[in-house]
Chains A and B, each alone.
Chain A
Amino acid sequence: MVKKVVVKLLYGVLFFMVLLYFLPKEHLYYLVQQKLQEQKITLTQKQLRETPFGVELQEVSVSYEGVPVATAKDVSVTLFVFYDAMKAEGIELSSLASSYLPPKLSFVGANYSLVHPLTIDAVAQGAFGSLLAVFNFKEKKLQATVKPSHILKTNYGRSLRYLQRKKDGEYSYAKNF
């Protein structure tokens, strides 16, 4: 009996992995593009390459309501459903955004895991310092902690006014959607 259950489970996992492999990741990415477009966020890229379990994008640009926000040299998205991850490198903010933050970001990453099914975790590192953020689906709440760099503190002090300073020198930000 147990053996039968284990075999069926293995077949289930195999089916799932094969399904992920066969899924057209490029077209799934187009679906994400469309969903973002509904939120007025435009995501475009110069090159798109499918990998067995995701997509790799190059020269990606992000704009909001047609206003360029940022570009990224390389973005990779991995889909395992139970663990999804997105990594972006070589990010440069637009001139508009760079009035509020240092324009270069070395890394932005976000991941979703079934271990924490209600949250998405994100990290970012760059000339501004580092950021850890958590978005909670259930509460529709974004919470972020920023460790500001010297550049952010000295040259972009105005931006820090939007954040709450904590006792340990870090800054926090919270927003409900």
Chain B
Amino acid sequence: MLSHDTLARLRELHPAVAVELEKTIQLAREATDPGLLELCSSYVMAALRQQNWSPPAGPLSDRESAFIEFTEQFAASVSTLSDEQVARLQAFASADEIYAFVNALYVADMLGRLELVTRRVL
């Protein structure tokens, strides 16, 4: 989620925060389906870089499609996410799994942004 260089720069500037950030990254990976998080993270990074994205391993399953659709809206604007987009996830995951995924996606989404912005302004 963060490159070695970015983490090293953050450790230099804010060592105490960097320690907590690294713990959060590790737990985000453990809290949800790691393959699904990696797939959705790859979508987020492409969107933030304004690049086209295609699934790395062929056509998406219905479950993956639902989570990618949610991720697309989450990365673009959470304020316009719809009840239906969350309801669609409920066909494939429990409330606990969705809650954990959304928190892990927050970490992936914001750290992607942190990576791209700090690389340019620090």
Answer yes or no: do A and B interact: no
